[in-house]
Structure 1
Amino acid sequence: MKPFFQTHPAPSTRARRGLGRRALVLAGIAAALLVGGCRSTALDVKELGLTGMAAESAYQYPVHGIDISKYQGAIDWDAARDSGVAFAWLKATEGGDRVDERFAENWRKTRAVGIPRGAYHFWYHCRPGIEQARAFINAVPKDRLALPPVIDIEWTPFSPTCTKRPPREELVREVTAMADALERHYGQRPLLYIPIDVHRDRLVGAFPRHEVWVRAVRDHPDNVYENRRFRFWQYTEKGTVPGIKGEVDRNAFAGTREDWKKWLEANLSR
């Protein structure tokens, strides 16, 4: 048998860069699995005293995480990681010109402690999608170990500046414009966070190419979302996590630990 270097030529510079990126992604996956694979944060669902179908169903998923914004204040990310938080979605932007005051800090610290994290944008119905995409891109760095970006689409009846509820065609068009711009820039297809009312009112059957993050705090999403598969599930806004003062949204990944490993490998930036 010939030596390896004789039968396999040395990789080109481009190939070496590709191998380096691959190694970085795999290292990120390994770190993520150490965080999300050593213990199950689903135990907190029972500790919260939640009842009903949502609590029981969420308890069955092994991989759990959180979503946060400036309202959680300063976070001890080491404590959150050690408690078993497997992923975190961080609010980055809102509309076309607002950046969450703690985004940069949370973005930096979650990476430092090894928690897989992604950034989310709070949708503003009174501004074109492409403008909102630019605001997000200006605020959120490219990062090979970041989860895909998220567009959070909610009705805003208490907004002081925009309570508009656009028709389905307009909403789909503008969200698509933002989603496509983010995919071009980051090389990742964004997820869409869609609560029950927005889904029911406008988006049943829309966005079949995008994975969806749903919200259902009283029942399993399959029982309240029509014609919608989901990848992440926000099952309570009253969660508790070591290192975070007060309540925090808790989320489950819809799959097994092996599914989580495969999802990370497919969705971390290249």
Structure 2
Amino acid sequence: MVRAKSTRPAPVKKKAAAKPVRRATQRKAKKKPQRQMPSWLRYVIAGLIAFLFLAAFFYFFIRPYSYRWKPCYGFKAYGVCMPSGFQVHGIDVSHYQGNIDWKMLTQTRQGKFPIHFVFMKASEGGDYGDKAFITNFDSAKTHGFIRGAYHFYNPKTDPIRQADFFINSVKLDSGDLPPVLDIEKRGKDENQLRRDLKLWLDKIEQHYKVKPILYTSYKFKTRYLNDSVFNSYPYWIAHYYVDSVEYRGEWKFWQHTDVGTLPGIREKVDLNIFNGSLEELQLMTIKK
């Protein structure tokens, strides 16, 4: 049976009454007036910062080399002011100086500060030989210079290996200066460094039958080699741009500058003096 459709209208849904919108009244925060730094104070602070920067720059970068620009009241030679009171002068070279014209270098003997001795770099660490050593070493003897050889020490390499490498690289003859240990790096352990250096020195002395020379700066000597066991070695002290060596112990050589200009050498050269007479220098040489 079919049912008749209902004719009653569908109920109308009542809309929910809109909630009244509450507008929150925000109080505007009162801004406090900011105080501005006076312009004169800004200039004072900026000037103070600039002064501190310049002072630090001078102390660390200019002051150590200010001796270069000091008036030379003594004699000037090879582009620098020469230390007074010393008669025996020398140089030290390596491959950094390039090809040396040894014949031209002999011209220095005609001047007021003749070059009498030359130290040459022979080796470094346990396996690096200076590529110019053999040529320089032979040429120095041929042209009548008192010659010497040095080893640049590497604290990270076994000292016996370094000593053996130097021995295999350098044959010293009668009239040559004792072998030199160049120590400039301390490594991580100071006590280990001193023990290792003594091993190198003992091995070299045993082989060449002469006490080696110790090359270092006066600061390195006083900080890391201030031990009586090292005081018996002849010292070669590096101390630049000063009127005299500040190291108060005994020393034989003084490397007083690294910017010497000599005939026959294109690059700058380290200049040295011997603390004694030429006869005393010759007495230091190896006798066979």
TM-score under structure 1 length normalisation? 0.72
Change (3 A) 1:166 1:45: farther
- 1:203 paired residue number: 225
Gaps of 5+ in 2: 1-73, 109-113
1:172 lines up with 2:194 in the alignment? yes
Give the one of 81, 103, 113 matched to 1:78.
103
Task: Map Cα deviations across residues 136-191 of structure 1 (whole Å, 9 max, x no partner).
Answer: 001001312211000000028xxxxxxx3431x22221111111111111112110
**CA RMSD in angstroms, aligned pairs only:** 2.0
Q: May I ask how many residue pairs the two structures share in their alignment?
A: 209
- 1:90 paired residue number: 120
Q: Which amino acid aligns with 2:175?
A: L
- 2:43 paired residue number: none
- Runs of 4 or more off by more than 6 Å in structure 1? none
* Identical pairs, percent: 35
- 1:267 paired residue number: 285
Change (3 A) 1:87 1:266: closer
SS of the residue corresponding to residue 265 of structure 1 reads helix
- 2:253 paired residue number: 232
Task: Map Cα deviations across residues 223-248 of structure 1 (whole Å, 9 max, x no partner).
Answer: x32x4211000000000111111210
Contact 1:237 1:250 in 2 (8 A): yes
SS of the residue corresponding to residue 136 of structure 2 reads helix
- 1:13 paired residue number: none
The structure with the larger Rg is 2
Q: Taking CA–CA contacts closer than 8 Å with sequence separation of 6 or more, which of the two structures ends up with the larger relative contact order?
A: 1
SS of the residue corresponding to residue 86 of structure 1 reads strand
Which has the larger helix fraction? 1
Contact 2:149 2:170 in 1 (8 A): yes
5 Å matches for 1:24-173? 46-47=76-77, 50=80, 55=81, 58-83=83-108, 84-155=114-185, 164-167=187-190, 169-173=191-195
Q: CA separation in 1, counterparts of 2:271 and 2:103?
A: 17
TM-score under structure 2 length normalisation? 0.68
Offset of 1:221 from its aligned partner?
5.0
